[in-house]
Structure 1
Amino acid sequence: MNFDFGVEEQQFIVDVRQFIAEQACHDDADDVMNPNRESDSILSDTPARKRFNKAMAQRGYMGMSWPEAYGGKAMPGIYEYLLNEELSRVGAPLIGKGVGCVGQTLIRHGSEKLKAEFLPQILKAEVEFALGYTEPSAGSDLASLKLKAERSGNGWLLNGQKMFTTSAHFADWYWLAARTDPQAKKHKGISLFLLPMNHPGITITPIETLGEHVTNQVFIDDVWVSDDYLVGECNNGWRYICEALDYERFTFYTFSPLEEKFNKLMQLIKNTDRDGVKLAEDPCIRRDMARLATELETAKMLQRRVIYVASKGEVPSIEAAECKLYSTELHQRLSQAAMNFLGEQGLLHKDDADAPMGGKWEWSYRATPLDTIGAGTTEIQKNIIARKKLELPLEY
């Protein structure tokens, strides 16, 4: 199995790195490129980061895999993965929901009106979306969602609640899943809508997590939406949600943040003294670092398998589950190792002037558990592996 990238792909990586180097000269670069924000580093949640996205759009990086008829370049999805790999390496915002699940779904299933309204804005990085899937009683079991959409004239009246909606506090539009047929089986009767986030019937309540990541609960009270903003066919939303996962497979599982975190850990032990001796000279620490280096290579190979399977036109559900399970837990093990090496110094918050490496490791220790929950919990990944790869029965 050859994991090397081709000549054109390697040249694309060079071009992206040159673009990033140019952007690093801007006055707002520290805001744009901030890997210490962990999960939040992928978001376009500040004016500086939105400016950066528009610069990416001008460079032609938005919608590269889209058909030419819709303003794209019809390039293989691997290029979007390579772009996000380099962006995530420096903690810059990724091309994400707009280009991926929203844009691709509209191209395949959206009306001409929705395509004309939203696709040009996505290509110009002029619009941000939030995904309204999870509810208080419908998390990993998304098909159990209960937010109601009832027929009202030439549209729908929506009522209910969503939970843990990342981006709701700065997004322009809500990509919302609602139940349009309560009598149908739970995977049926679900539809997708587009709602403006500034609708008066939408109330957003921020929730700050342990790692200072801001997510939101969203209340939908008597929000009327026209049939024009129903995405695709009524009651076919579950299919579109599942397809969206395929669109993201090239871009979601980036390896570079793990590699950069390991490199920072190496820098830490080489430059930190304890009782006049470098941490790197401690045999126990050297042993731990050797193990982590081996685990890093394992994570890299798991991630490359996701890309390899996807590049053949297959859905890498097992490979993606293995990669997500292993890599997110490795992020935690790296942070835990740093805390162990530093001892009581590692507990210093980033706001403390004496915190090692600006408090990176204490922050990372608090932030990394989120990654084992978002985009499918660790338990869900284990279930996928057990059921699809090992063919083991699920417990009920």
Structure 2
Amino acid sequence: MDFRNSAQDSGFTAEVRAFFESHVTPEITARVDQDGTLHDAGLHEAIAARRWIGAAWPADVGGLGMDAAEFSAFWEIAQYCRAPIDGQLVTEMVGLTIARLGTEELKQAILPRVISGEVLISLGYTEPDSGSDVAAAKTTAVPVDGGYLINGAKMFTTLAHVADYVFLLARTDPTVSKHRGLTMFLVPTDVEGFEVRAVDTFGGERTNATFYDNVFVPDRLRVGAENDGWAVVMTALDVERASIRGYVGQARRLLDDLLEALQEDPGRLESSATRHALSAVNTKIEAAAALADRVFCIIAKGEIPNTEAAMFKLFVTDVFKDLSHLALDLVGPAALLTGADGSAPVSGHLEHSFRHAQIATIYGGSNEIQRNIIAGRALRLPVA
């Protein structure tokens, strides 16, 4: 198996790096740090103008048909440059799911607007009482003439306050097993009965709680067949893997931030223990990049890398978290200063990365879930 990343040293990589270095301005970074919204309308518009939204989608649904491994450099560089591109990431994931499972009417209504940057979509999976058990959704969708009435609540609907739709999982049949009675919808955020409330997080990101009070959704905004919502969720998780390399970018940036902070006290870099610790974590980051390459090799063969993607996600986010702790150990109390303190090393990014790294182990399925996947599918052990 070839683990080499086809994006390395390509013209596309250089173009993307130059783009983000010029477009991620101090003003954007300051605004994100202040309000926690990982989306910027101007940046999103500029990305769309380059045709980089949906660039790795097949041409028959409006994409450029770029190789997924090559385009993955986009996500790594964006995260390295601290670009607020979560809106693009989630919207592309949902868009490609619609391309695979949506009706022709829905594809024509949504996909061109996704590619042009006109539409943002947030995820409505988790509920206040169900945590990581997405299939335990209690939000209901009752069939009515021409569509459905939705009632319930969702938690962690990040970006719902700026999104046009929520990709919502609702229960349409309470009489069958929890995985079988679910249906997926695109719920407009401008309809009567929809409410969004801000929720601040430990990682500094703004997320939301959203509420649905007799929200009417027409049939044309259902994604997939009625009661087949779990298959839609699995498809969405499948296409999400295209952006996994972003975690590598976050880890590389934190390591570079740590090295910059240590330059303020060069004596620390002369310590053999420090140099060994830094070398070890750099090796782990390169190993994480190789695990990501393996995922793309499997995708290129037309296979679904469930176990391999779980291994990558578990490994890279654990490395990121461990590196955030190492930064605190090596820099000391100053690493806990926020960007609001003018004396904070590297403008407070060490402190922010420490908070964000803990949450990264939860995003995209908690690391406990990833261990269960690896245990069951790779090691053939009983699943907890």
Aligned AA for 1:261? L
Written as runs of structure 1 = structure 2, the 5 A alignment for 1:247-286 is 247-254=239-246, 255-269=248-262, 271-273=263-265, 278-286=267-275
- Deviation per CA, 1:182-211, whole angstroms, max 9, x where unpaired? 112211121111111122311212111112
Bigger mean CA offset, 362-371 vs 7-16: 7-16
The residue correspondences of 1:90-101 to structure 2 (distance < 5 A) are 90-94=81-85, 95-100=88-93
Does the alignment pair 1:361 with 2:350? Answer: yes
Written as runs of structure 1 = structure 2, the 5 A alignment for 1:328-347 is 328-347=317-336
Who is 1:4 aligned against? Answer: 4
**Quick check: 1:73 aligned with 2:61?**
no
Gaps of 5+ in 2: none
Structure 1 residues 155 and 36: CA distance shift in structure 2, 3 A: closer
CA pair 36-227 structure 1, distance change in 2 beyond 3 A:
closer
Asked whether the equivalents of residues 258 and 296 of structure 1 are also in contact (C-alpha less than 8 Å), the reply is yes
Q: CA deviation at 1:21?
A: 4.6
Is 1:30 the equivalent of 2:26?
Answer: yes
CA distance in 2, matches of 1:31, 1:191: 41
Correspondence for 2:314: 325
Cα distance in 1 for residues equivalent to 2:180 and 2:79: 36
The one-letter code sitting in structure 2 at the alignment partner of 1:88 is Q
CA displacement 1:278-316 (0-9 Å, x = unmatched) = 211233322322322232232222222222222222111
CA contact (8 A) 1:177 1:237 kept: yes
Looking at structure 2, the residues matched to 333 and 35 of structure 1 have their Cα atoms a distance apart, in angstroms, of 28
Task: Provide the secondary structure at the position in 2 that maps to 1:96.
Answer: helix
1:129-157: CA deviation from partner (whole Å, max 9, x where unpaired): 11101112333221111111112222211
Is the CA contact 1:190–1:234 (under 8 Å) kept in the aligned structure 2? yes
**Mean Cα deviation higher: 63-72 or 84-93:** 63-72
Match of 1:19 in 2: 19
CA distance in 1: counterparts of 2:299 and 2:185, whole angstroms = 28
Give the fraction of aligned pairs with identical amino acids, expressed as a percent: 35
Q: CA RMSD in A?
A: 2.3
- Aligned-partner residue type, residue 62 of structure 1: I
Distance 1:302 1:66 in 2: 22
**Structure 1 length normalisation: TM-score?**
0.89
- Offset of residue 2 of structure 1: 2.9
Q: Please tell me the residue identity of whatever aligns with 1:103.
A: G
* Aligned position for 2:164: 172
Return the alpha-carbon distance in structure 2 between the equivalents of residues 265 and 304 of structure 1.
26
- How many residues align? The count is 379
Structure 2 distance, partners of 1:98, 1:316, is 22
CA–CA distance in structure 1, aligned partners of residues 177 and 304 of structure 2: 25
Is 1:83–2:74 an aligned residue pair? yes
1:63 and 1:73 in contact (8 A); partners too: yes
Residue aligned with 1:301, SS: helix
Deviation per residue, 1:193-240 (Å, 9 max, x gap): 111112231121211111211111111111111212212311111111
Separation in 2, partners of 1:393, 1:23: 49
Counterpart for residue 54 of structure 1: 45
Is the 1:206–1:214 contact (alpha carbons within 8 Å) kept by the matching residues of 2?
A: yes
Please give the per-residue CA displacement for 1:316-368, whole angstroms capped at 9, x wherever unaligned: 11111111112112112112111112222223222111112212212221221
Give per-residue Cα distances to partners, 1:63-98, cap 9 Å, x unaligned: 223333332223332243222222222122444222
Which of 127, 138, 141 pairs up with 1:135?
Answer: 127
Which letter does structure 1 place at the counterpart of 2:357?
A: T
Find the residue that maps to 1:248 and give its secondary structure: helix
Q: 1:162 aligns with which of 124, 140, 154?
A: 154
Per the alignment, do residues 284 and 103 of structure 1 end up closer, same or farther by CA in structure 2, a change over 3 Å counting? same
Q: Using the TM superposition, name which of 73-82 and 371-380 deviates more.
A: 73-82
Deviates more, 1:57-66 or 1:7-16: 7-16
From the superposition, tell whether residues 343 and 105 of structure 1 become closer, same or farther in structure 2 (CA, over 3 Å): closer
SS in 2 for 1:250: helix
Aligned residues of 2:307 and 2:373 also touching (Cα < 8 A): yes
